[in-house]
A and B are shown apart, each in its own frame.
Chain A
Amino acid sequence: MTAVETAVDMSTALGAVPIPSPVLTASGCSAFGRELEPFVDLTAIGAVVTKSVQLRPRSGRPTPRMAETPSGMLNSIGLQGPGIDGLLDGELPWLAERGARAFVSIAGVRVEDFAELATRLRGVPGVAGLEVNISCPNVESRGEVFACDPVAASDVVAAVRAAADPAQPIYAKLSPDVTDIVSVARAVVDAGADGLSMINTLLGLVIDPDTMKPLLGGITGGLSGPAIRPVALRCVWQVHAALPEVPILGMGGIRSGLDALQFVLAGASAVSVGTAVFNDPSALGRIHAELAAALETRGFASLREAVGYAHR
């Protein structure tokens, strides 16, 4: 990382696991970290949040998988990935060898899938914790997304907490596509989540005016990028106000250190950078340096002092 050394203490934590930087990748936006190596010091960032992994390898959806939208994009990748065996054999050892921390995002279509993934990840070297991607359709509830139902969401989180390595914090990743995000947050925290990742993408649609049909192969897609930043920030603000003791990994449209600062002031103790990496592969190191400088200018001696400052 090309960080200009500032006096600000940038260390933070994921649950009880200390990390040297509050800036992390976002799930699905940096694959498994490997491709960023030419641009980012993977050991200096907070952690590599991996692409959501499921039990079996997945091809993902047919193309087209993305559409550019004003200050953002719509994607329907369909969780393409190697499955947990591929991750355990290839990607996680690669990260561990380099001393990079992995925050492994897990996904499934039934509660037991999540629990089995958490079991497989117990004690795996380099795994700093788990992010539970509950923005998946629940096959046992006619495809309703877990994250949109506080009961289904807490079932998943309770099962993961029971199965997971006690040393690995688990963060539940919340969807903004709900009426009351605070009630979902409260439910998953009560079920044992050590922290909250927020937000996942917003469901969107683009129609191609030439073909007059939905542009994406998956019809709808997830909206990300700076376009969603105010929505994400509002979610972080509301949840931190209601649950000030619960650590939040904030994300949604972060592109600069000042964007990250807004999330910290709203209550996030760490941030993920997703879509901005497509625009600038060096974004993580740059945002860490910009955030440190911004905190120093505002008289903060540490990142921790600034967390939730806007509420005080």
Chain B
Amino acid sequence: MTAPHPRTTALTTPAPVADAPPVQRTVEVVGARPVDAYVELRLAAPEIAERAQPGQFVAFAVGGETSGLLLRRSIAISTAADGVVTVVVSAAGPGSTWLTQRRPGDTVDVVGPLGRPFPAPPAGARALLVGGGYGAAALVGLAAQLKEAGHEVAAVAGAASADRLCSVQELTELADTLAVTTDDGSSGRRGLVTLAVDELLPGCGVVYACGPMRMLQAVADAATALGVPSYVAVEESMACGIGVCMTCVLPVVGSDGLTRLSRSCTEGPVFGGDRVRFDDVGTLPWDVVGADAMGVTRP
């Protein structure tokens, strides 16, 4: 038997749990607006809005009561204010497409707010927010909260092409500086978000990121290399969103230095960027707690 060995990482502490437990409600859609490649839904959900903290998400039942699609669709909360929760939906499969077809007056069954929020930055720290694709939507509420608390906020929004950018207008209004990058150069600078991140990072006390896994890894690595703590909101496929199915796991280093397959819905979606073992996602490394019982031993 091989004993897992602790890894020493010290830049981040695991994100603490949210202040309030989730609720399940049938809520009314009060706004549905196409925004380039996405649809922004506004929900009259006062009990979720009053509990929500930036970084958290909601989980929708899709297809109606007799739907054959049973699994919940988890979507990051963009903003939660005045009793209204806003989310940005990308139509990727039949469930999310059903969501993008909701119209004002329709009702949806939603559970939230779920997951751990972004931890607060150190007092007075300048914060860098990095969003990839519709992941940028999850940073809008955070940007507002940070500005209100007196932090200087720099933001980067990146995507494959201009129509896949998200929340650029909201972030322009909130952030002190905003950089836009696209892979094809159709908006902002041509290239990956890391172009802008490398320039904006020096002087920042914390980085928050939301977007595709490869982008999160690049941003977290850049931050860690400069000794800046980073927090990433991951997007794993989730069946329940509330922590009961164990489908949404990825290898994360805990405060004891040991790696566990952690649930992205209840132990995340926000993790310390230096705690997620991005290269090992989708594999079972030998030094994960309990891998020995699966027959995986030290090479």
Same complex for A and B? Answer yes
Q: Is the CB of A59 within 8 A of B239?
A: no
Could you tell me the distance between the alpha carbons of A167 and B188 in the complex, rounded to whole angstroms?
A: 70
Residue of A nearest to B243 (CB): A35
Q: Is the CB of A80 within 8 A of B261?
A: yes
A205 nearest CB across to chain B (Å): 17
Q: Tell yes or no: B266 within 8 A of A by CB.
A: yes
Q: Is the CB of A80 within 8 A of B246?
A: yes
Set of chain B residues within 8 Å of A37, measured between Cβ atoms: 21
Segment of B78-86, B117-125, B288-296 engaged in the interface with chain A: B288-296
* Partner among A28, A31, A60, A65 whose Cβ is within 8 Å of the Cβ of B294: A60
Q: What is the interface residue range for chain B against chain A?
A: 35 or more
* Partner among A31, A39, A60 whose Cβ is within 8 Å of the Cβ of B290: A60
Residue of B nearest to A65 (CB): B247
Q: Is the CB of A59 within 8 A of B247?
A: no
Set of chain B residues within 8 Å of A278, measured between Cβ atoms: 70-72, 239-240, 244-245
Q: Is the CB of A80 within 8 A of B249?
A: yes
Set of chain B residues within 8 Å of A275, measured between Cβ atoms: 70
* Partner among B61, B249, B283, B288 whose Cβ is within 8 Å of the Cβ of A279: B61
B288 nearest CB across to chain A (Å): 5
Set of chain A residues within 8 Å of B243, measured between Cβ atoms: 31, 35
Could you tell me the distance between the alpha carbons of A70 and B68 in the complex, rounded to whole angstroms?
A: 6
Segment of A71-79, A93-101, A181-189, A241-249 engaged in the interface with chain B: A71-79
Q: Is the CB of B290 within 8 A of A56?
A: yes
Could you tell me the distance between the alpha carbons of A304 and B208 in the complex, rounded to whole angstroms?
A: 56
Set of chain A residues within 8 Å of B111, measured between Cβ atoms: 281
Set of chain A residues within 8 Å of B70, measured between Cβ atoms: 68, 71-73, 225-226, 275-276, 278-279
Set of chain B residues within 8 Å of A30, measured between Cβ atoms: 244
Q: Is the CB of B71 within 8 A of A279?
A: yes
Judged by DSSP, the binding face of B is: loop
Could you tell me the distance between the alpha carbons of A132 and B261 in the complex, rounded to whole angstroms?
A: 25
Q: Is the CB of B237 within 8 A of A57?
A: no
User: Which B256-299 residues have a C-beta within 8 angstroms of A?
Assistant: 260-261, 266, 281-284, 288-294, 296
Set of chain A residues within 8 Å of B293, measured between Cβ atoms: 54, 56-59, 83
Q: Tell yes or no: B69 within 8 A of A by CB.
A: yes
Q: Tell yes or no: A206 within 8 A of B by CB.
A: no
Known: A279-B71, A281-B240. A31 touches B246 (CB 8 A): yes
Set of chain B residues within 8 Å of A61, measured between Cβ atoms: 284, 294
Q: Is the CB of B72 within 8 A of A279?
A: yes
B99 nearest CB across to chain A (Å): 15
Set of chain B residues within 8 Å of A159, measured between Cβ atoms: none
User: Which B3-42 residues have a C-beta within 8 angstroms of A?
Assistant: 21-24
* Partner among B24, B72, B261, B282 whose Cβ is within 8 Å of the Cβ of A64: B282
Set of chain B residues within 8 Å of A58, measured between Cβ atoms: 290, 293-294
Task: Indicate with 1 or 0, residue by residue over A15-53, a CB within 8 angstroms of chain B CB atoms.
Answer: 000000000000011110001111100000000000100
B271 nearest CB across to chain A (Å): 15
Q: Tell yes or no: B152 within 8 A of A by CB.
A: no
Q: Is the CB of A31 within 8 A of B71?
A: no
Known: A30-B244, A39-B24, A280-B61. A64 touches B237 (CB 8 A): yes
Known: A38-B22, A65-B249. A59 touches B61 (CB 8 A): no
Could you tell me the distance between the alpha carbons of A258 and B256 in the complex, rounded to whole angstroms?
A: 48
User: Which A260-312 residues have a C-beta within 8 angstroms of B?
Assistant: 275-282
* Partner among B68, B239, B240, B290 whose Cβ is within 8 Å of the Cβ of A80: B290
Residue of A nearest to B240 (CB): A278
A300 nearest CB across to chain B (Å): 25
Could you tell me the distance between the alpha carbons of A70 and B289 in the complex, rounded to whole angstroms?
A: 34
Q: Tell yes or no: B242 within 8 A of A by CB.
A: yes
Q: Is the CB of B246 within 8 A of A60?
A: yes
Residue of B nearest to A75 (CB): B247
Q: Is the CB of A77 within 8 A of B284?
A: no
Q: Is the CB of B245 within 8 A of A63?
A: no
Could you tell me the distance between the alpha carbons of A36 and B24 in the complex, rounded to whole angstroms?
A: 11
Q: Is the CB of B289 within 8 A of A277?
A: no
Could you tell me the distance between the alpha carbons of A281 and B61 in the complex, rounded to whole angstroms?
A: 11
Q: Tell yes or no: B250 within 8 A of A by CB.
A: yes
Set of chain A residues within 8 Å of B95, measured between Cβ atoms: 68
Known: A57-B293, A68-B69. A29 touches B236 (CB 8 A): no
Sample (19) of A-B pairs whose CB atoms are under 8 Å apart? A29-B244, A35-B244, A36-B242, A59-B261, A60-B249, A60-B294, A62-B284, A68-B239, A73-B239, A77-B246, A81-B290, A83-B293, A278-B239, A279-B61, A281-B111, A281-B240, A281-B242, A281-B244, A282-B24
Report, nearest first, the 8 A-B pairs whose CB atoms are least far apart: A59-B290, A278-B240, A35-B243, A57-B290, A71-B68, A66-B247, A38-B21, A58-B293
Residues of B within 8 A of A (CB): 21-24, 61, 68-72, 95, 109, 111, 236-237, 239-240, 242-250, 260-261, 266, 281-284, 288-294, 296
